[in-house]
A and B are shown apart, each in its own frame.
Chain A
Amino acid sequence: MQSSSDDLRSTSTTPAPRAGVTGFPIVARHDVSDATFILEVDHPLMARAARAGQFVIVMSHPEGERIPLTIADFDRKRGTVTLVVQAVGKTTREMQRTCQVGTTLHGVAGPLGLPSPLGKARTVVCVGGGLGVAPVYPQARAHKERGATVIGVLGFRSAELVFWEDKFREVCDELILCTDDGSAGIHGLVTDGLELAMERYPDVGEVVAIGPPVMMQACAEATRPKGVHTVVSLNPIMVDGTGMCGGCRVRVGERVQFACVDGPDFDGHQVDFADLRARLTRYRGEEAQALAHWEHACRRAENAASDTLVSELPTPAGA
C-alpha cells in the first residue's frame, strides 16, 4: 500500500458521507452504446486497494440481486472505481434506467478475486471484446507499468461504438481495432486481430483475453498451437462473491475452482468453456420471468403516472 497512515485513518470504510445519503454515490456516467454504460462510483478505499483483474459485487437496491462487475478502472486521486454494465437482464436494464449521477448503489463490495498475476512476458497482447473491452484496460496499463510491450486488440460491432480508444493508445505500443462491419480498424473478429498481433510480434509471451465466453475460448484456441500462455477472466453467476456459496464454480483442468476467490483469472487453455457456458444459462427462465415482471411493473407505473396527470388536469369549464 503506497498510502500514508494518515490517509487510511481519515478514510471511512463507507464512501464519502453526505448528509442523509447512504450507499455508494455514482459520480459520473457515460453511455457508450444503447446497451452499455460506464459508471464511476465514489469509493476511495476501494480505489486504493483495487488491482487489475479484480471485480466487485454490486447490489443496486435493497431488494436487488448481487451481481459481479469487473473493475474497469480505478482512480486513486479521485477516489473512484469505474464499472461497465451491459443492460441485458432485469437488474442491468433497471440499472441503466436508475443509475444516474447523484444516485447511489445500495451495496458495493470488493475489490474481490485475486489480482491478475502479471507474469514476466516481455510482450503481451491484451484482447477485449464486447463487455471485456473496459476490464482489459487496467491489465494493459499494469503490463505497461511493469515495462512490457503491450499490444491492444479491441473488438466492436462498428466504428460508432468504439470507446476508450485514447485511453488504450496511452498504454499500448500498438492498438488493433477490429469491427464486425469494417467501419474502423480491420474488418473481422478479435481473433483475427490476435493472429495479426502474433504475426507482427513473434515474441508474444502472454495473451490476456476478456469478453464473452465464446470469444475467450476462440482466443485460447488461437494461442494453443503456439503454446502462448493465455489468461482469461471468468464472470460466472455469483451470489456472495466471497467463496461462501460455490455458485461460481468452474472446471479448470481437472479441478473445480471458485471464480470469486480462486480467480477470476484462469489459464485459458485449461478452462472447460462448455461447462462455463452451460452454467451461465442456468437461470435463463428465471431471468426472463424477472424481466417480464419488471417491465410489467414499469408499464403499470407509467400508466399510473399518466392517470394521475389526467386527473390533475383542471376540469374544463362548464363540465
Chain B
Amino acid sequence: MAAKRTIRTIPAERTPVREQPADERIGGFEEVSLGYDEAEAAREAQRCLFCADTPCMTGCPVSVDIPGFIRKVSDRDYRGAYDTIARTNLLPAVCGRVCPQESQCEAVCTVGATLEPVAIGRLERFVGDLAIANDWARRPFIAPTPYRVGVIGSGPAGMACAADLAKAGCDVTVFDALHLPGGVLRYGIPDFRLPSEVIDAEVANLERLGVRFECNTVVGRLFTIEQMIEEMGYDAVFIGTGAGYPTMLGIPGDSLGGVLSANELLTRANLMKARDFPMYDTPIPLGTHVAVVGAGNTAMDAMRVCLRLGAETVQCIYRRSAAEAPARAEELHHAEQEGVEFHWLTNPIEVLDDGQGNVSGLRCQRMELGEPDESGRRRPVPVPRSEFVMRCDQVVFAIGTNANPIIGQTSKLRLDKRGYLRVDEDLATSMAGVFAGGDIVTGAATVIEAMGAGRKAAAGILRYLGIRDESLAYDALGEPVFGIAPHEHSYVRLRAAEPETSPTHRTAVTAR
C-alpha cells in the first residue's frame, strides 16, 4: 500500500491532454482533444486526494461519485469506474467532453485550492470512451467468483453449460478437439440449415461473457480430467464430448470405396469445406447415385448435402415406415421437396463391389412391421423372397453413433455397459467435481436436449461449488440500468487479472 496521498506528494501539474495541432485541425472536423491514454489517466488519477467531504460531488448536478470512480481508475479497474459513474450519469463520454467542469466539480476540488484541480472531466471522458469501445453499457458487470471450470467439448451441451457458469461469475475455459469451436453445430449440421456465421456469433457472445475457447485440445490425451482437477487448478469439469463414434452396419462390403459414415461426409462438407474443393484442400467423394441408410436428421442432412454436391439421385433407405422416421417433420419435408426418393420398409443386406473395390449397388430386402419392440415401435421383419438390388455408387450410413471411447480410455470415470458416462440426477459423474451431459451420457439425441443437459449440469456445478443462486451475479448491478432490468442484459465476467499471455482463440474483455 502506498503512503497516504497528500497535497505535497501528488503531481503538482495537471496531466496535459494531447490535441490535434491547430494548423491541421482547422482543415477538418476531427475532434480537437485526443483524450487521455491509460498512462496519462493513471497519472492524473493519482492527483485525487479522495477527501472525505467530497466537495466535487456536491459540485456535480447529478452527484457522480467522483472520488469513487477515480479510485477505480487509479486501480486500473476501468469497468468498475464505468459502473460507478453509470449509477448516476448515463453519458460519461458526452459529459466528460461538454460539461463546464471548471465551474462545477473542478471549481470546488480540494486540490484546486492549492494546485491545479484534478482533471475530472478528462478522466470521465477516458472512462466513457472505454465503455463505448468495450460495449459496457449493454453488458453489466458480473461479480467474479474464484472458481475455475473446464468444459470439454464446445458443442451445444458445452456452450450452454459455459454460458450459465460464466453468468454466475465462474472463470470458464471450453476445450475442443477440432480446430474450430461449435462441435456438431459446426461439423454436423450443414450451412443451409445453420450458417456458420450464426455459430461464430454465439461463440463471440460467450467470449463477451468472458468464456475462453481453446481449440486443438484433445482432453484425455493432451491432459487428463484427473490432471485438470488435481494439477491444473480447475474446481470443476463438465464433459460434453458427444457420442461421436459412428456405427457402421456390419454388412458385407461396408468398407468398399464409396461407403462412408454420415459423420465423415458431413465433416468433410461442413467443417472442412470440401464443398469448395480444391479451394479448400479436403476432398469429398462425389457420388452420382447415392444411397443413404437411415431416416434421422443426420440422414436428411447427408442426403441434402449430396444433392447440393451434384448427386443425380439420392435414395433414402429405412427399415421401418415413414411414421417411425426419427427426423424432424420439416427436414423430411424439405428432403422430399428437394428430390430425395424414400424407400420405406427396406433393409440393406450387402454392398456390392464393382470389381474394382468400389460400390456398384446395394442389395436390399423388403420389410413389414410386426409386433412392437421394447422401444414401443413395431419391429420390422423381412418379407421372404423380397430381395432386390438398388444401383448406386455411394453408400452413406446414418444409423447412429456409439460412445466415443477417449474419455473412457483416459479416466477412471464409471461408464455404463455401452460406454456412456454414468451420472446421477444432478449429472455428476463418479468423480467429485466432474459432471457430464449430452450425447456422451444419453447416446445420440437432439441439440436442445444437449443444451438442456448442459444447463442442468451448470446448475449442479454451481451447487457443488457453493454458489447458491443467481443474485451473486447481479450484486454489482443491484437495480435496473438505463431502464433495463438485469435479466435483459447480456452479462460479462470481468477478469481481475488477465494473464499477459494471449491464447489464440480468445477475446478478453479488458480495457487495453
Binding site for B on A (CB under 8 A): 1, 3, 5, 8-9, 12-14, 17, 22-24, 45-46, 49, 54, 59, 63-66, 90-91, 106-112, 114, 239-247, 249, 251, 256, 258, 261-262, 275, 278-279, 281-283, 286-287, 289-290, 293-294
Within the complex, the shortest CB–CB distance from A94 to chain B, in Å, comes to 8
Contacting residues, chain B, for A279 (C-beta < 8 A) = 255, 257
Q: Which residue of B lies closest to A16 (CB)?
A: B501
Contacting residues, chain A, for B282 (C-beta < 8 A) = 65-66, 239
**Is there contact, CB below 8 Å, between B248 and A261?**
no
B178 part of interface (Cβ distance < 8 Å): yes
Within the complex, the shortest CB–CB distance from A273 to chain B, in Å, comes to 13
Q: Please measure, in the bound complex, the distance between the C-alpha atom of A17 and the C-alpha atom of B257, giving whole angstroms.
A: 43
Q: Is the interface of B mostly helix, strand, loop or mixed?
A: loop
**Best-buried of B227, B232, B282 by chain A (most CB within 10 Å):** B282
Q: Size class of B's contact patch?
A: 35 or more
CB under 8 Å from chain A, chain B span 216-269: 216-218, 221-224, 227, 230-233, 242, 244-246, 248, 250, 254-257, 260-261, 263-264, 267-268
B370 part of interface (Cβ distance < 8 Å): no
**Is there contact, CB below 8 Å, between A14 and B245?**
no
Contacting residues, chain B, for A5 (C-beta < 8 A) = 230-232
Contacting residues, chain A, for B357 (C-beta < 8 A) = 278
Contacting residues, chain A, for B404 (C-beta < 8 A) = 242-244, 261
**Is there contact, CB below 8 Å, between B245 and A243?**
yes
Q: Please measure, in the bound complex, the distance between the C-alpha atom of A22 and the C-alpha atom of B213, giving whole angstroms.
A: 14
B486 part of interface (Cβ distance < 8 Å): no
Contacting residues, chain B, for A241 (C-beta < 8 A) = 177
Q: Could you say which of A90, A91, A244, A286 contacts B246, with CB atoms under 8 Å apart?
A: A244
Add 11 more A-B contacts to A66-B282, A243-B245 (CB < 8 A): A1-B227, A9-B233, A64-B281, A239-B282, A244-B267, A245-B264, A246-B260, A282-B285, A290-B277, A290-B281, A290-B283
**Which 8 A/B pairs are nearest by Cβ-Cβ distance?**
A286-B283, A245-B264, A107-B179, A65-B281, A17-B501, A293-B278, A244-B244, A22-B504
B214 part of interface (Cβ distance < 8 Å): yes
Q: Please measure, in the bound complex, the distance between the C-alpha atom of A128 and the C-alpha atom of B245, giving whole angstroms.
A: 31
Within the complex, the shortest CB–CB distance from A222 to chain B, in Å, comes to 26
Contacting residues, chain A, for B472 (C-beta < 8 A) = none
Q: Could you say which of B244, B263, B501 contacts A12, with CB atoms under 8 Å apart?
A: B501
**Is there contact, CB below 8 Å, between B504 and A110?**
no
Q: Please measure, in the bound complex, the distance between the C-alpha atom of A13 and the C-alpha atom of B263, giving whole angstroms.
A: 27
Q: Please measure, in the bound complex, the distance between the C-alpha atom of A245 and the C-alpha atom of B264, giving whole angstroms.
A: 4
B215 part of interface (Cβ distance < 8 Å): yes
Q: Please measure, in the bound complex, the distance between the C-alpha atom of A114 and the C-alpha atom of B504, giving whole angstroms.
A: 28
B69 part of interface (Cβ distance < 8 Å): no
Known A8-B227, A107-B179, A279-B257; judge A246-B263 contact (CB<8 A): yes
Contacting residues, chain B, for A282 (C-beta < 8 A) = 257, 285
Q: Please measure, in the bound complex, the distance between the C-alpha atom of A262 and the C-alpha atom of B177, giving whole angstroms.
A: 17
Within the complex, the shortest CB–CB distance from A88 to chain B, in Å, comes to 14
Can you list 30 A-B pairs with a CB-CB distance of less than 8 A? A1-B231, A8-B223, A8-B227, A9-B231, A13-B175, A24-B216, A45-B222, A49-B223, A63-B281, A111-B221, A112-B218, A112-B221, A114-B409, A240-B177, A240-B178, A242-B244, A242-B404, A243-B406, A244-B187, A244-B246, A245-B268, A246-B245, A246-B261, A256-B254, A258-B245, A261-B245, A278-B255, A279-B255, A287-B283, A290-B278
Q: Could you say which of A14, A109, A247 contacts B264, with CB atoms under 8 Å apart?
A: A247
Q: Please measure, in the bound complex, the distance between the C-alpha atom of A66 and the C-alpha atom of B282, giving whole angstroms.
A: 8
B280 part of interface (Cβ distance < 8 Å): yes
B279 part of interface (Cβ distance < 8 Å): yes
Contacting residues, chain B, for A91 (C-beta < 8 A) = 281
Q: Please measure, in the bound complex, the distance between the C-alpha atom of A194 and the C-alpha atom of B230, giving whole angstroms.
A: 45
**Is there contact, CB below 8 Å, between A261 and B406?**
yes
Within the complex, the shortest CB–CB distance from A64 to chain B, in Å, comes to 5
CB under 8 Å from chain A, chain B span 425-481: none
Within the complex, the shortest CB–CB distance from A97 to chain B, in Å, comes to 14
B339 part of interface (Cβ distance < 8 Å): no
Q: Please measure, in the bound complex, the distance between the C-alpha atom of A90 and the C-alpha atom of B224, giving whole angstroms.
A: 35
Q: Could you say which of A9, A239, A287 contacts B272, with CB atoms under 8 Å apart?
A: A239
Q: Please measure, in the bound complex, the distance between the C-alpha atom of A262 and the C-alpha atom of B282, giving whole angstroms.
A: 24
**Is there contact, CB below 8 Å, between A239 and B264?**
yes
Q: Which residue of A lies closest to B219 (CB)?
A: A13
**Is there contact, CB below 8 Å, between A108 and B264?**
no
B16 part of interface (Cβ distance < 8 Å): no
Q: Which residue of A lies closest to B248 (CB)?
A: A256
**Is there contact, CB below 8 Å, between A240 and B255?**
no
Within the complex, the shortest CB–CB distance from A98 to chain B, in Å, comes to 13
B503 part of interface (Cβ distance < 8 Å): yes
Contacting residues, chain A, for B223 (C-beta < 8 A) = 8, 13, 45, 49
Q: Which residue of B lies closest to A297 (CB)?
A: B278
Q: Please measure, in the bound complex, the distance between the C-alpha atom of A4 and the C-alpha atom of B257, giving whole angstroms.
A: 48
**Is there contact, CB below 8 Å, between A247 and B260?**
yes
Known A12-B501, A109-B178; judge A246-B248 contact (CB<8 A): yes
B502 part of interface (Cβ distance < 8 Å): yes
**Is there contact, CB below 8 Å, between B231 and A8?**
yes
Q: Mark B278-302, 1 if CB is under 8 A from A, else 0.
A: 1111111100000000000000000
Within the complex, the shortest CB–CB distance from B439 to chain A, in Å, comes to 11
Known A49-B222, A261-B405, A278-B357; judge A107-B215 contact (CB<8 A): yes
